[in-house]
Amino acid sequence: MMSKKIEIVGLEIVGDLWGNDEKKINNLSKRKIQTLISLLIKSVGFLELGSYYHQFGNGGITGVVALAESHIAFHIWPEYRYVSLNVFICNYSKDNSNKARELFNKISTLFGPSSVTRKEITRKLQ
């Protein structure tokens, strides 16, 4: 009987950032957050393929970034000082798990949260 080899497809990190720095999240514009996130993506060595950002009347921002390695999505609720963040990075040619964690941490720092809860989901082929 042949056993199946389990392959790690990637790492998805889902997080809730609470108590974000009011000045930081209220002074963000769609253009500014797009520039900052693009710089962070490059800093860890990932390739940005395209993005979409939308700013709401209350200052909230939703962003989705497609990467060659998968994607990032976030939603900012300035009135609650809350940000939801999702980073999913694939391991097609190498293990990118540590880079996924690094990117999640760098993006989180942009908002200055007092509390971060996160869940890591290992995606596998079986």
Query: In angstroms, what is the C-alpha Rg of the chain?
Result: 16
pLDDT digits (tens, 9 = 90+) for 72-122: 999 999 999 999 999 999 987 789 999 999 999 999 999 999 999 999 999
Q: Is 75 a catalytic residue?
A: yes
Q: Is 43 a catalytic residue?
A: no
Q: What is the pTM of this model?
A: 0.91
CATH of domain 8-119: 3.60.90.10
Catalytic residue among 3, 29, 51, 70: 70
pLDDT digits (tens, 9 = 90+) for 28-46: 999 999 999 999 999 999 9
How many residues in total does the chain contain? 126
Catalytic residue among 51, 71, 75, 84: 75
Q: Is 114 a catalytic residue?
A: no
Q: Which residues have a Cβ under 8 Å from the Cβ of 20 and sit 6 or more positions away?
A: 81, 82, 83, 111, 112, 113, 114
Sequence ranges of the domains in the chain: 8-119
CB 108 within 8 A of CB 30: no
**In whole angstroms, what separates CA 36 from the centre of its chain?**
12
